[in-house]
Amino acid sequence: MNPNGKRISIIIVVWNARAYVLECLETLFSYAHGLPLEVIAVDNDSKDGAPEAIAERFQQVRLIRNGQNLGFAKANNIGIRASTGEYLCLVNSDVSFVEDCLSPMVDFMEANPGIGIVGPQMLVPPAKDVARSTMRFPTIWNTLTRYMGMDVLLPNSKLSGALLNSDFDHRATRDVEVLNGWFWMIRRSALSTVGLLDEQFFMYGEDVDWCQRFHKAGQRVVFFAGAKALHYGGASAAGSPLFFSVEKERANLQLFRKHYGGLSAAVFWAISLCGNFVRALGFGVICLFRPTVRKQAGPKFQRSIACLRWLIRNAV
């Protein structure tokens, strides 16, 4: 049991992820038994029976049903406004709890009052390996090197910029620039200066934007290796891969425009256009001449084409 007796609000946004969210809630209540919790599920108009299943199986969960898909940021803000906890946990619906990770996270934040937001270690199936869950702030350089694959070829080189923190093994606690938005614990008092999630970001980019605002407000952003959870990844995006690929491009363009200005956004647009063109060309050639891997390369080709079309229509 949490010895500090702090009330924790768990907020889970759901969109067509019935099986995942049921596992998330089942494992949450299994490991967090006795903790002073409130759990809020915000459903974005799921059509797979997720809200009905939550209402039937977990009466202790407060269920908020939106009449349409409002996006990740706006739905989380709805949950935050409805919550009462001193500590807020924004947890993806495709997270599965493998231990009581909440108590050590609260204890860590209690011992470090300068921390505004913390994220646990992310495990991925099937072997529950430790995976990347942080990144650096995007810049023109590290975005370019990411498209060129330099961060993979030279993971420990400062030259690559390591946008995805490829030089960090995620096995030690440390301050980071960005905690990716799969599982956050936030100190509610920090939100008085940081504010809520920016609702212009529909599905992606809100994590980078929020972490930048935490830093600017003088709040520490910390990866905490003393707690862990399992993340399946892509539960909602799996049903609409083209749409969500385009949303990533849109979010990145919004980020550059918001934090770096119009010129940087234009340069990012050009980099992304060239990068997606090269990817489409490469995957197209693979589909033509290597039929044995066409099943894997085909969807990647389609996603690159969808992104190219969107970028051309939305030229900066």
Mean of the per-residue pLDDT values for the chain? 92
Considering the domain delimited by 8-133+170-231, tell me its CATH architecture.
Alpha-Beta Complex (3.90)
- Within 10 A of 256 (CB to CB), how many other CB atoms are there? 26
Position 51 confidence tier, pLDDT thresholds 50, 70, 90: very high
Using one digit for the tens of pLDDT, what is the confidence trace for 279-314?
Answer: 899 989 998 888 888 888 898 999 999 999 999 998
End-to-end CA distance of the chain: 53
Query: Domains of the chain: which residue ranges?
Result: 8-133+170-231, 240-313
Q: Is the pLDDT of residue 238 over 90?
A: no
User: What pTM does this model have?
Assistant: 0.91
Question: DSSP string covering 244-284, please?
Answer: HHHHHHHHHHHHHHHHH-HHHHHHHHHHHHHHHHHHHHHHH
CB-based burial of residue 283 (10 Å sphere; 0-12 exposed, 13-18 middle, 19+ buried)? buried
Q: Is the pLDDT of residue 1 over 60?
A: no
Q: Is 192 helix (H, G, I), strand (E, B) or coil?
A: helix
Position 4 confidence tier, pLDDT thresholds 50, 70, 90: very low
Range name among 76-80, 221-225, 259-263 with the lowest pLDDT average: 259-263
Q: Is the pLDDT of residue 94 over 80?
A: yes
Residues 17-43 have a mean pLDDT of: 95
